[in-house]
Amino acid sequence: MTPLATPLPAVAFSALVWGSVALVVLVFCYEVAIVFGEMRRSGSANGE
């Protein structure tokens, strides 16, 4: 194996994996908040 092809350290792999999961969860929370905010504003605008 060439030096360039040295495997990523285990801790970096772990950070990539759980960081990706955390980012997906974060975007989900953002989406829930903003979509429901839009629905509420749309409901208010319609006089509900």
Partner 1 sequence: MIDATTALGVTAAVLVGFALFGAWYARGRINSVEDYISARNSAGPGTLTATIVASSMGSWILFSPAEAGAAFGGLTAVVGYGLGSALALAAYAVVGPRIRTAIPEGHSLTEYAYARYGNAFYAFVLVVSLAYMFVFLAAEFTGIAGALSLIAGIPGWQTAALVGVTVLAYTGYGGLRASMVTDTVQTLLILPLLAITFAVTIVALGGTGSVYGSVASAAPNLLAPGYLPGLQFGVYVVVAILGAEMLNQAWWQRVYAARDDATLRRSFLIAAVTVVPMIVLAGIFGLIAVGRGLVDGNASVSFFLVVNDVLPAPAVLAVVVLAVLLVVSSADTLFNAIASVVTADLPRLVDLDDDSMTLAARGLTGLVALGATVVGAQGYSVLTLFLLADLLAASVFVPLYHGLFSERAWTGGALVAGLAGLAVGVAFFPPARDALPAMGLPAASFLRSFVGAAAVSGGIAVGSARLAGRRFDLGRLDREIRSLDAEGEP
Q: Does residue 20 interact with partner 1 by CB under 8 A?
A: yes
Q: Does residue 16 interact with partner 1 by CB under 8 A?
A: yes
Structure tokens at 18: 């759980």
Q: Does residue 45 interact with partner 1 by CB under 8 A?
A: no
Q: Does residue 40 interact with partner 1 by CB under 8 A?
A: no
| Exposure b/e, 2-40, CB count within 10 A at least 16 = b | eeeeeeeeeeeeeeeeeeeeeeeeeeeeeeeeeeeeeee
Q: Which residues bind partner 1 (CB under 8 A)?
A: 1-8, 10, 13-14, 16-21, 23-25, 27-28, 30-32, 34-38
